[in-house]
Chains A and B, each alone.
Chain A
């Protein structure tokens, strides 16, 4: 099969799923339902103001529930499931010394013992469905790499392929049906809006009630929008356990395992002159990072062809799943800045003077009027990226990305445009050149490593020959905090060790 046939097949699959819709098998899983009910009951009863003492138990129990849903292989194929269960039981006995909500603890403990004891019927139905259509004619789609590895350890013996959504492009031509082992809401829209097979069937436990299909982001606004229908088939014992949570109650429950973020500790104050608002990201390899809303950040796209993998992403598009390229100990930006100055030779000192001058003026103006008023005035003056005004005080962020924004900023500061403007552009050009050279070296280094290991482990170390850039790492973003904190400029974009990702996948 040549590429054009693969591409046409993808359009045909899309038309086929558009006409036929997707199928959802909602499979009865009484033990899983019991665990789900116990957890929801706990979250509802304890309420939003619950003590942090509950956090770890709830987090581990949610991880167990998530695994029950997304890795339905028999328990003998997943010792880690029993280990998670044991951890839940250990936490419940530990908590008995601190809290007096015996019923909640009993409920979670009993349900946990039940799921460890009884295999998920979702797995049995999946296997039966595979046998029905033939292992060569279908593919099993797992929600993520961890789940894929778990399911494959079981299904490999039956001759069926298990993949993650990103691997669907590579499946062979004879595969007509995809069994997705996760609710539609937990897989990327691509699984159904750009299907690789003519039929897509989701196999989910009946206790997970949300069966909504994800829409393509462009869809609702587009012409020719892809509108998909679904048919739900309930299979097996789908009776819900006695539920103490009223149907219309709002329960702040999340099924996808989340880190415990707590609340913002920086209060409502404005950042000081050497501080900045930054969001905490949890990364693979037990790392974390403070990311400010400033300049774009170096990223890696492991599925791009060699030579085209290293690029930049705007901070706004850094989401779970993004791979960031980071420098240990110091930011890449700082090191690149020093290098750019070095290449400018004698001219560097006069550039540093004008750069310092306008940045000092900006700091003084921000101190005088405050960030929010500055943003407002700059926006009114046509400066599109006004929201980044605080980041521009950083000496190593040379100037706004858009030239017109920089001119507008200097005007607002009532600073002379020349030679400040030209100097900044010269420095930025030198920085571009230095960073293009670094990109080439990174591409070369990435070309020699096992990117499969990066996708599996979420972190990778790169060795460059360039002085000062020996310790580069690539790390996958696992989670992004929902709020920012005020941190010092020195802290941002430098990876550090952090244990909060323990129960994430």
Chain B
């Protein structure tokens, strides 16, 4: 398992590549929360963990927690690419990763007669030995290829970099973000990096969270608009963590059966409904928890946290 982000590292965020990374203690703290939650999940048994964090402003928080959660996922164990290609047929859809590209789509053919075996997949033909990580997809999809996403500072820091290509091929699919989709997608475009490095260049949070997006060659995390929950949509299985961003999403808390739910309460909104709903939820048949003692997470100053578990 990848290590948890050490608190002494100063993490910075920027909204665009031409801006320096801005730092503050809460940025790293929320990434760390995502990783702590991943660790805690194994011990939950059949209970649901609900964590509420109340913050001065909602921005970036869900994306940062999601980043910590994804980076701390165990690396996928994949078969050798050649084995996957040999087993594939015309109905197989693959995601295949080289040192430079992610190629996703329908398998074409494998030509092992040549000295340098070649494979056609996702509409592209390349020598087999270029592929470092290949995985069969459950559902069919269009051919789409793109540049390999950069692992960036955080993947290096957490050790996820050493299994980066496998992670790009078969990312963990156990996270969902729910809220105002436009804002969540904007948050995922923010660049994260080493705040102590003056010339540091950030990496999009989306490189870790991998949101569903049109023409993306790899994806893992649905970003669900709150209103869709009221129209019958639910979080896809097997989701381990759902982050509910603001009251629009939190009001559906009781409908979630996800093992872990994080509720992001935006205190800048002049509406206490979200906090009241959580206080009420906590009163019904729950066991209190301490984020400090049980999760070993220390909220940044100005961040309030409340955690409890409830039988699923």
With A11-B300, A310-B227 known to touch, is A222 a contact of B306 (CB < 8 Å)?
yes
Partner of B180, one of A188, A305, A401, A428: A305
Q: B52 touching A218 by the CB < 8 A rule?
A: yes
- B225 interface residue, CB < 8 Å from A? yes
Partner of A188, one of B56, B254, B270: B270
Which residues in B have their C-beta under 8 angstroms from that of A5? 22
Residue-wise interface mask of B (260-281) relative to A, using a CB-CB cutoff of 8 A (1 in contact, 0 not): 0000011111111101111100
Which residues in A have their C-beta under 8 angstroms from that of B15? 2-4
Please provide the chain B residues from 220 to 259 with a CB less than 8 Å away from any CB of chain A in the complex: 225-228, 230-232, 247-248, 251, 254-255
Can you name 16 A-B residue pairings with CB atoms under 8 Å? Answer: A3-B15, A7-B56, A7-B59, A168-B268, A169-B57, A193-B54, A193-B267, A195-B56, A216-B304, A223-B292, A226-B304, A296-B230, A301-B248, A311-B230, A319-B273, A384-B254
- B290 interface residue, CB < 8 Å from A? yes
Q: A169 touching B180 by the CB < 8 A rule?
A: no
Q: Which chain A residues have a beta carbon within 8 Å of chain B's beta carbons?
A: 2-8, 10-15, 18, 165-166, 168-169, 188-191, 193-196, 216-219, 221-226, 296, 301, 304-305, 307-308, 310-314, 317, 319, 321, 384, 401-402, 428-429, 432-433, 435-436, 439
Q: A216 touching B299 by the CB < 8 A rule?
A: no
- Measured CB to CB, the closest approach of chain B to A308, in angstroms, equals 5
The docked-state distance in angstroms from the alpha carbon of A15 to that of B301 is 7
| B179 nearest in chain A by CB position | A308
With A11-B26, A188-B270 known to touch, is A429 a contact of B232 (CB < 8 Å)?
yes
With A7-B60, A305-B183 known to touch, is A317 a contact of B273 (CB < 8 Å)?
yes
Q: B270 touching A317 by the CB < 8 A rule?
A: no
Q: A313 touching B251 by the CB < 8 A rule?
A: yes
Which residues in B have their C-beta under 8 angstroms from that of A189? 267, 272
**Which residue, A15, A221, A305, A435, has most C-beta atoms of chain B within 10 A?**
A221
Q: A216 touching B60 by the CB < 8 A rule?
A: no
Partner of B268, one of A3, A10, A307, A310: A10
Q: Which chain B residues have a beta carbon within 8 Å of chain A's beta carbons?
A: 13-16, 19, 22, 24, 26, 52, 54-57, 59-60, 180-183, 190, 225-228, 230-232, 247-248, 251, 254-255, 265-273, 275-279, 282, 290-292, 299-307
- Measured CB to CB, the closest approach of chain A to B13, in angstroms, equals 5
Q: B304 touching A219 by the CB < 8 A rule?
A: yes
Q: B54 touching A216 by the CB < 8 A rule?
A: yes
Partner of A4, one of B60, B231, B232, B304: B60
Which residues in A have their C-beta under 8 angstroms from that of B251? 313-314, 317
Partner of A2, one of B19, B228, B266, B277: B19
- Measured CB to CB, the closest approach of chain A to B191, in angstroms, equals 9
With A7-B60, A311-B226 known to touch, is A224 a contact of B232 (CB < 8 Å)?
no
The docked-state distance in angstroms from the alpha carbon of A408 to that of B307 is 30
